Structure 1
Amino acid sequence: MCEAGRVTTDPAQDPDVQELATKLFNAARSGDSATLAAYVDAGVPVNLSNEKGDSLLMLAAYHGHAGAVQALLERGADADRPNDRGQTPIAGATFKGEVEVVRALLDGGADPYAGQPSAVDTARMFGRDDLLSLFGQGG
């Protein structure tokens, strides 16, 4: 595509695409379910990830937004998609102690044994017997 005398072939380098991606990552961090749902429904990839491999779901889960997590899962987000460090959304939510997010992820099919460290390992590490119970583990 040609714009203002320059040729851009990689959409990821397009400033408009970068601006939209930033808006969506911020919506995930802030729990803006309506914005996330609208853009995904309009064709934005539900598993869109940033430069660290953090998906929209990971950011919503880590920041404690159960509603945004549920909206993304309902639209096909991969509940077990790890980031570049091997961390999954459910492990991030477990680390942060976000019980409602953990429940939403479990309801959406997340595997508490996936990733490194897994959500089960994280719950054990931090003595979260309540979350271990949700994972079917004894405290």
Structure 2
Amino acid sequence: MTRDARETADTPDEETLRLAAEVFNAARDGHAAAFRRWLAGGLPPDLCNHNGDSLLMLASYHGHHDTVRVLLAHGADPERYNDRGQNPLGGAAFKGDLAMVELLLSHGAAVDGTTADGKTPLMFAAMFGNREVLDCLLAHGADPAAREAGGMTALDLAVAMGAESTRARLAALAA
């Protein structure tokens, strides 16, 4: 096969590109009914975009609980990381979405899964003062002594970010 033929074979046609855009936008916008149809028709539940963001990552980050439930029911991997080393649970903790955190944990998300720089979901909750999320993660066994790449714990990060409610909770644990 010539180089031109290979490039043509590897280049998606307009209809494929349109459908891909529709699918990823539906994940961001939370169209659970569309995913029920698409997944039943063979759409891979762990389909990723050019950034490595899975459908689950996009739906969870944007707070679409019903869409996340549909994706998880069809086998989407709650531990799938994107190209930046981020996962759905870390995103939900960052956003402070307690219901999403609980949903992902109930479907096998690792409570102490780390980003590329070693931050855990507990650290994101601590940094941004998400006390309810922090308490949920602790109840599921998150390690408050874990350290990110720079050596900081969730308590250190809460202090650095001025997140008083989570700082106080983590300081009480350390005492």
Q: TM-score, normalised by structure 2?
A: 0.70
Which residue identity does 2:19 align to in structure 1? L
Please identify the structure whose Cα radius of gyration is greater. Answer: 2
Offset of 1:13 from its aligned partner? 1.7
Offset of 1:118 from its aligned partner? 2.2
Counterpart pick for 2:123 among 114, 121, 124:
121
Asked if 1:78 is matched to 2:80, the reply is: no
Contact 1:61 1:92 (8 Å CA) reproduced: yes
Name 1:66's counterpart in structure 2.
Answer: 65
Contact 1:87 1:118 (8 Å CA) reproduced: no
Structure 2, unmatched stretches of 5+, are: 1-6, 145-168, 170-175
Name 2:19's counterpart in structure 1.
Answer: 20
Name 2:132's counterpart in structure 1.
Answer: 130
* Partner deviation per Cα, 1:42-95 (whole Å, 9 max, x = no partner): 111110111111100000001001111111001000001011111100111111
Contact 2:46 2:55 (8 Å CA) reproduced: yes
Which residue identity does 1:78 align to in structure 2? D
Higher relative contact order (CA 8 A, sep 6+): 1
Report sequence identity in percent.
42
Structure 1, unmatched stretches of 5+, are: 1-6
Contact 1:79 1:109 (8 Å CA) reproduced: yes
Which residue identity does 1:102 align to in structure 2? V
Which residue identity does 1:23 align to in structure 2? E
Aligned length: 132
Which residue identity does 2:134 align to in structure 1? L
Name 2:95's counterpart in structure 1.
Answer: 96
Segments ≥4 residues shifted beyond 4 Å: none
Which residue identity does 2:40 align to in structure 1? D
